[in-house]
Amino acid sequence: MAHKFEIYKDKKGEFRVRFKHNSEIMFSTEGYASKASAKNAIKSILKNGPNAEIEDNS
C-alpha cells in the first residue's frame, strides 16, 4: 500500500501519528499521551480532511 498512517512513540514517550506515501513522511501530528488519542486523531483526519479548505499563503 502506498499510503498509510503510522502510530509510533517519540523520545518523550508520547504517541504520534505520521502519514506516509511510500516511504516519505508527508506530515506528523503533535504528541498524545495515549494511543487511543492518536487513533482519534487519525479518525478526525479521515473525517474532516477531504472537505478541508486549502489556504495558499504563498
Helix (H) or strand (E) holding 9: strand 3-9
For residue 5, the cross-strand partners are: 19
One CATH from 3.90.550.10, 1.20.1200.10, 2.30.110.10, 3.30.160.160 for 3-50:
3.30.160.160
pLDDT tens-digit map of 2-58: 899 999 999 999 999 999 999 899 999 999 999 999 999 999 999 999 999 999 999
The C-alpha cell at 11 is 523520545
pLDDT (0 to 100) of residue 38? 98
Assign 1 a pLDDT band (cuts: 50, 70, 90): low
Classify burial at 57, counting beta carbons within 10 Å of its beta carbon; exposed 0-12, middle 13-18, buried 19 or more: exposed
* CA 32 – CA 21 distance, rounded (Å): 22
What is the reported pTM?
0.84
pLDDT (0 to 100) of residue 47? 95
